Structure 1
Amino acid sequence: MKVMKYFVFASLLCLCACSDDNDNKNNEIPQDLVELKVDASEISIAQGDTRTVKITSGNGEYVVTSANEEVVTAEVDGDLVTLTAVEGQNNAQGVVYVRDKYYQRAKILVNTAAEFELKLNKTLFTLYSQVEGADEAIVKIYTGNGGYSLEVVDENNCIEVDQSTLEDSESFIVKGIAQGNAEVKITDRKGKEAFVNLNVIAPKQITTDADEKGVLINANQGSRQVKILTGNGEYQIHDAGDSKIIRLEVYGNIVTVTGRKAGETSFTLIDAKKQISQPIHVVIAPEKRWYMNLGRDYAAWTHFGEMTGDGLESIKAATNDFKLKKMTWELVTRIDGTNWLQTFIGKESYFILRGGDWENNKGRQMELVGISDKLKLRTGHGAFELGAWTHIALVVDCSKGKDDYNEKYKLYINGKQLQWTDTHKTDIDYSEIDLCAGNDGGRVSIGKASDNRRFLDGAILEARIWYVCRTEEQLKANAWNLEEVNPEGLLARWDFSAGAPVAYIEDGTNSDHELLMHISKYDSWNATEFPMSRFGEAPIEVPFK
């Protein structure tokens, strides 16, 4: 009975051991399994010579086995398999197996002979110098007898030959460096010869009609076309230069350069053969300062929902998504005539600065009007002069009480505060000004609002919107030109001195956010090209004190 118990116990131990052994081998496919591959599944080796085969992927712990050791021997070191052809019967074949730790196998068929003809993978190559990926060729010896040497015939000095891998991998690299033809002769230790012919094509360099003199544009938003004279097609912008100074567009062999503001930069082109042009220098140097004469025909508008740039999220956070508790509007304008509710700047049916309604604003009054006319403040007569350049500023501080309207909504004309003396209705108390609210799709407009009658009847030179309250001193000092560098709180700025036919005005904040101002006709919000004939030359001297 005792013997039987020991026999059962021993049997159970054997079963457990077998079970553990199966667990170690694990018939399931491991999650990290990589297919075992070598860079040559068939190879020819002269008897007495040695060749190497590289394991290109696998799972490590490699083992090699020759099925015909009288034909070929094999060794492995890391991911390199060394094969040696044994001298013996001519034209013999052998098989070598490579195995990894997951028992995957790869087979290498080995052909051996006492003497091989010298054969190459390819005997004619076309290379493109200076074109990455197309300027080099790998020449591989398919069969041969070892002991290789090279002889280069290159009268054009058009190639470079790297033979550092010739002995180990029986291959060499040829690189095309200039236009021309060359030949490489390969000789083995048995005196067998093979030849490689190389045709090297040098791509055309990119040249343009602006290479020597560059591009000079004499207007902030002027443009010029640069013609590509030579190259290899499929032209693209390689380095766009300073995107705050120029815009670039490529169509065929024409590059259109459009100015954005005064300054200097350069750009380069690249073509289908990866050739890069020399830097093309661009100077935006306006000869004059221009104004836009909107008259009764044109208007300008923007929408803060269209703002772009890397700094967009930062500026939205700083302004609570353009809901401002403190704000300054500035407009440099020349009002040439009066008109019923003529629009200076603002947001229709929400918060707008406009002219009065008495006899087409015959009295030259200005009024600030809010939602449903619950805010309505009006100046006395003669708030502005006709035909004279005027700096208008509205400084809003929503922390002030609604009845303190001359402090909450400060109106400045040429740096002097103008009181709201005629009408002062304050049934609404703004705690913030939402620059995306209002009728007209939430636009901020200049020279147009609501219907087709509220045109400015004048000219505009510059407009600015701030998310701070600018002081009287700051307004005076920067009325005609913004002299401050990196001013605090500047949200948007537009200099209407484009000096070229345009359908938009560039943002002039010189920051990492930007907002275009669109040009439209008085009867539509659609983008319209403003003609050069409606630009005028602005005064050099500050026209107001």
Structure 2
Amino acid sequence: MKRKLSFLFLSALTIPFLMVSCSDDKEEQEVKPAADLVVDNSSVTLLQGDEITVGITSGNGDYYVKPFDESVATATVNGNKVTIKATENSELEENNRTETTVLVIDGRKKVARIQVQVAKLWNLTVDTPEEGFDLFIGEKRLIKILTGNGDYQISVPEGADKYLEVGELSGQTFPVTAKFETETDHPIEITITDKKDKTVVIPIVVNIVDLTLKSNEAVFAEPDAESQYIAIEKGNGGYTFTYQVEDGEPTVEATIVEASEDENLITLKPKARGDVKVIVTDQKGSEEVIAVKVNPYEIKLEGNATSLSLNGFEVSKEISISRGNGEYKLAELTDDNLKYLESATIDENGKLAVKAKWMGTTALTITDAAGQKMELPVTVNAVSSRLEHDRYLHIDIKKYAESLQGAWVKSVDKLTFEVIFYPTSSRSLQSFIGLEGVFLLRCESGKDTNLRFELATKKISADNDPRFRSKQIMGSDRQNNGKWYHVAIVYDGSQAKAKDAYTMYINGVKEELTPAGNYADAEPNHTLNLTDIGGTDHALLIGRSGENWRYGYCKVYQARMWKTVRTETEIKRDLCKLFTKEEANENQDLVGYWVLSKGIGETEKFENWGSGGEDLDGYVYRQAFGNEERSFEKSTLPATYNGSKSRFEPVECPHSY
């Protein structure tokens, strides 16, 4: 005896889509790739006067329809559903049928075609062989009614639900899923009947099969990788999973990967690094093995940083390892590492701490418990210090002169000062490096913009106070033409005329100087006493001259003091060179060498690396203003602003402009 299962002629389930409701939404949508327009039935059969609903399962909204021949069929669209109606008295061809096409179009001009066939009477046909077909347990197959007369009813024998599950009819398609094996010579017969009493019978046999998988291996890049999927090509349902690590006993505990199954699709979700065999067993005892490898995490730093930068040679920095496999170790520091880094360590929590030592780039090697390795470039960047109106460097050259090695400064016939700096503003007589009333680089006086560099020297006589000015105008932030400069001023006491005794080089090029008075051809001082300093602060100064108000608005990177006449070739060659402490200390001519690139806020002094030693260290002094006591005692204030803004900023190598 048979039991009938009746199904309404329902439209296919559709995926709801948001319709475009305003021009802003459309503009936003236009930037996204258009989805393909897909319908759940691309070929339908109708009797004259009947109608059918086709669902839009994918598209871009704003749908409209266009029938090719409305004498055969008309169409309307409502939301995601297209209703097609066969014309009642359409003219049929000799075979008592006709056909047309309905186009479905969306707002992105994507198109789907639905073939519509109309007849007075259809034979009932399906897309399965007359002899039926076989299924394995758990297999799902869609059966499509190719032609028929609507109002379809599907029936199965009494008790068939033990072996098969028959799903709802959607349009002209319905699913069948195998549940339990049948006897080979007793297939389950599914009967389909339409409203014209046309009938078709589909025999189905559910077989026991050997378990077969689409693939028997899976490799994951890391434990947090996306799940992977393996299809069951044949099987008997009721799937269970056990896991075997190396030669151990299989267990149900999923430690490395977790497996699950749904509709003959196995999902593998990684959990931890390692290799494991996933044993798949169906309810009939058939087995397959999936070899799974989950690679360890790559070592990653917080923020996905792939390199580390420290701005200044005394800066420390910490960064945590955000991803890896634990037990992090830092390879033993190499000679190259120790050239640029004072120290580098990793603690038990995976925090890397690095302290800079010298400007340049080196690479650290980090490893973990899984043998993963990360090569981390670490760069110590050169920075400059903003001195400006509130700080300057005080170098006690008088103290140095009292030492045995410094006695020479009381009678000097050769001297070169160099400074790499960036003027940040412009102001009359602001000073950059030198000795007030002896030998000094500053700006000209009398105005606050379009200033020229000026080399000021010791008076030749009561009437002659030599000053030589550059032709180049000094750029600055204030004038929106700021530049990095390397300026060298040179004194050669052996020359016969003042214009030859004093020379200026800007960015390695000798500058044509203009005297500010009538002393170019006068005989110069043939020696200078560097302790005979004018003004109120009797010292060698960087970022100021002897008078309190002659401070310089500038960022300073390097300053040098040589007891030789440096040539244009030498100056150009060493323009941006960063001498090491050892190189500077061993060079007897390089007496003073100050690199303002520490990068740390609590800076009280910049050590002299030149051969003159610590007596020429540059101390950070505070400018005295207004009613403040005009005292020039050494300040212990750090070289930072009173706020969050750092005083240390990036450096560029000057060049010829």
Q: TM-score, normalised by structure 1?
A: 0.44
Q: Which has the higher contact order (CA 8 A, sep 6+)?
A: 1
Q: Whose Rg is larger?
A: 2
TM-score (norm 2): 0.37
